[in-house]
Amino acid sequence: MPNRRRFLVTIITVVLQASCWTVRRTHAQNLGARASEFVKSIGDKLVAVVNGSESEREKRAKLTAIIDDAVDVDGVAQFCLGRFWRSASADQQRNYITLFHQVLVNNITSKLGDYRGVRFTLGRTQQRDDSTVVSTVVERPNNPPTNVDWIISNAAGGPKIVDVIAEGTSLRLTQRQDYASYLSRNNNSIDALINAMRQQVGHAG
């Protein structure tokens, strides 16, 4: 009887473990499918704007709306400032976030002409910790294809882009290193960084 009981307990444990694994796998598959659909939707919108016939001003407005909707701008901004975020005052944090958003939009819209005729294709998705990696191939006329991975997080309750990795280079990590380098050359002054960002977006002073 004890042996039979142990056998039943073993069977139940195996079944429960298999069920948990199936639930986790199904959850990961659902997140992957959701992230892939999200990237396709955002990619289609970006391509439509870039290849559209609107003026640069109209394209900028549309791209700003897409970025606001698709990117976790606040989260990316905090990541890029790194350890300096905690030492910044509330006013500095607010000014930095506002300027970071403007810099992000400027960096994208300044290259609109370079991306005319762009198209992209979806690749595989991978679950990585609390985020999903959606691989794509971006193609531009007269340029070799570029492998671009979109890092999608669901931490905020819905899918948001938290990083873009182009040919193995993380854009947010590169920006974080640039900011850290600038701060180290300027006595770790957050105000100096904010002023430099103001100048970058054309609002010096």
**Domain locations along the chain:** 2-200
DSSP assignment of 177-203: HHHHHHHHHTTT-HHHHHHHHHHHTT-
Residue 162 above 90 pLDDT?
A: yes
Residue 27 above 50 pLDDT?
A: no
The CATH topology of domain 2-200 is Nuclear Transport Factor 2; Chain: A, (3.10.450)
The CA-based dihedral angle spanning residues 115, 121, 124, 128, taken in that order and rounded to the nearest 10 degrees: 20
**Dihedral sign from CA coordinates of 58, 60, 62, 64:** negative
Helix 171-185 and helix 190-200, axial crossing angle in degrees, nearest 10? 120
Amino acid 204: pLDDT: 40
The predicted model gives 106-135 an average pLDDT of 84
Res. 57 pLDDT band, cuts 50 70 90: confident
Residue 21 above 70 pLDDT?
A: no
Res. 3 pLDDT band, cuts 50 70 90: low
The predicted model gives 154-163 an average pLDDT of 83
The amino acid at 43: G
Amino acid 164: pLDDT: 92
Q: What is the mean pLDDT of the chain?
A: 84
Q: Are 162 and 151 in contact (CB under 8 A)?
A: yes
Residue that is written with structure tokens 């790194």 in the block: 82
> In sequence order, what are the residues at sequence separation of 6 or more whose Cβ sits closer than 8 angstroms to the Cβ of residue 48?
none
What is the rounded distance in angstroms from the CA atom of residue 170 to the CA atom of residue 173?
5
- Across 36-40, 93-97, 100-104, which has the greatest mean pLDDT? 93-97
Q: Are 130 and 157 in contact (CB under 8 A)?
A: no
Amino acid 22: pLDDT: 45
